Amino acid sequence: MIGTGRTARRDRSLQVKPLGEGRFAFSARLTDRSDGGDHEPPTPSAVIHDFTASGEVEGPHLLLTRLTVEAVTHPYPQCPFILGVCDELVGSSLRSGWRRAVLDRLRGPAGCTHVVSLLLSLTELTTLTFFLQINQSMAYGERQRSDGSWTAASLDAVPSLPGACHVLSPDGLLAGVARRPADDKAPPR
């Protein structure tokens, strides 16, 4: 931890809920706060920015079907003026071209750096929706991870996972354990 005194902090959160039939609802938040600073009126902390995004995505490409962006707390009255542009993102895929779609509409003076940061972070829905899809058919626990059954279920549910990271390398140890017959699986070492 940094310690006491004046600090500024950014917190992000993202929650995803399955709705069935490949649809997911989400809510995201970006909050900047100042602690121990000189605030008017005098307070121990102050919220500088607080923006939220909520909506729904569907299908394997996580197509955005609904999006609401709100400026809950902001330093200037003009900050929310750009929020209507966010409606143009409905129909975009979070898995392909999302960064370009956001920056094409909200880069520089056409947007807000805080809204852009929040919207770009929505690509993290991918990991959470994958987990929810896999967890629908397989318990998540130490045994399932060590015997390869979690990885096997992951590869069945999300065929694009091989190569997503060093652990999921197509030639890696976990992929090999996941491909072995169930009675021959041993924990990876």
Q: Give pLDDT, residue 148.
A: 85
Q: What is the four-CA torsion angle of 149, 155, 158, 160, rounded to 10 degrees?
A: 150
Tell me: the pLDDT tens digits for 131-173?
999 999 999 999 998 888 888 898 888 888 888 888 788 777 6
Range of the domain at 35: 7-125
**Residue where a domain stops, chosen among 80, 102, 125:** 125
SS3 content of the chain, % helix, strand, coil (to 5): 35, 30, 35
Q: With respect to residue 120, please indicate whether it lies within any of the assigned structural domains.
A: yes
Q: Are residues 102 and 165 in the same domain?
A: no
Q: Are residues 153 and 78 in the same domain?
A: no
Total domains in the chain come to 2
Tell me: the pLDDT tens digits for 100-128?
999 999 999 999 999 999 999 999 999 99
Q: Give pLDDT, residue 180.
A: 55
Q: Are residues 79 and 167 in the same domain?
A: no
Q: Are residues 78 and 114 in the same domain?
A: yes
First-to-last CA distance in the chain? 34
Distance (Å, rounded) from C-alpha 118 to C-alpha 67? 12
The larger pLDDT score, comparing residue 50 to residue 184, is at: 50
Name the pLDDT band for 189 (thresholds 50, 70, 90): very low
Q: With respect to residue 57, please indicate whether it lies within any of the assigned structural domains.
A: yes
Tell me: the pLDDT tens digits for 47-86?
999 999 999 999 999 999 999 999 999 999 999 999 999 9
